[in-house]
Amino acid sequence: MNAEKPDKPKKKRAQQVYTLLVELGRHENDGLPDGATGAALMCYASGVDEAEAVRETVAILRQADMAPLDVTGYGTLDERLKEGHEVSAEERALMNRALAENSVIVAQLTPFFD
């Protein structure tokens, strides 16, 4: 006889905000300036872990006709502070917004030119 085990409620992991640097290539209708060869985006993205934050960010950028090539993660606010990063009040506000909205916030776009 196979006794069924009652389902244990899954422990919900807390969302955190991760700082991500995304390198973009060019794609038709990407909104980058004429003559740009690509760009870098500084983003704040929420997720239960950094991998989820990266996946969500890449998916959203692709929906926006952008071409993400590479993503570098800089960790959570606490991780950045432990590494000695200076985090401005403006950055913290954007991080709080990303967490509250469970979203990806593009904080800065820097186009690349040859």
pLDDT tens digits along 2-38: 555 566 666 678 899 999 999 999 999 999 999 999 9
Domain residue ranges of the chain, discontinuous segments joined by +: 16-29+37-112
pTM for the whole structure: 0.86
Q: Does residue 79 contact residue 16 with C-beta atoms inside 8 Å?
A: no
- The pLDDT assigned to 43 comes to 97
CA distances to 12, 29, 82 from 58, in Å:
23, 17, 27
Give the tens place of pLDDT for each residue, 69-101: 999 999 999 999 999 999 999 999 999 999 999
Name 71's bridge partners: 22
Distance between CA atoms of 11 and 96, rounded to whole angstroms?
23
Task: Give 18-57 as a DSSP string.
Answer: EEEEEEEE--TT--PPTT--EEEEEEEEEESSHHHHHHHH
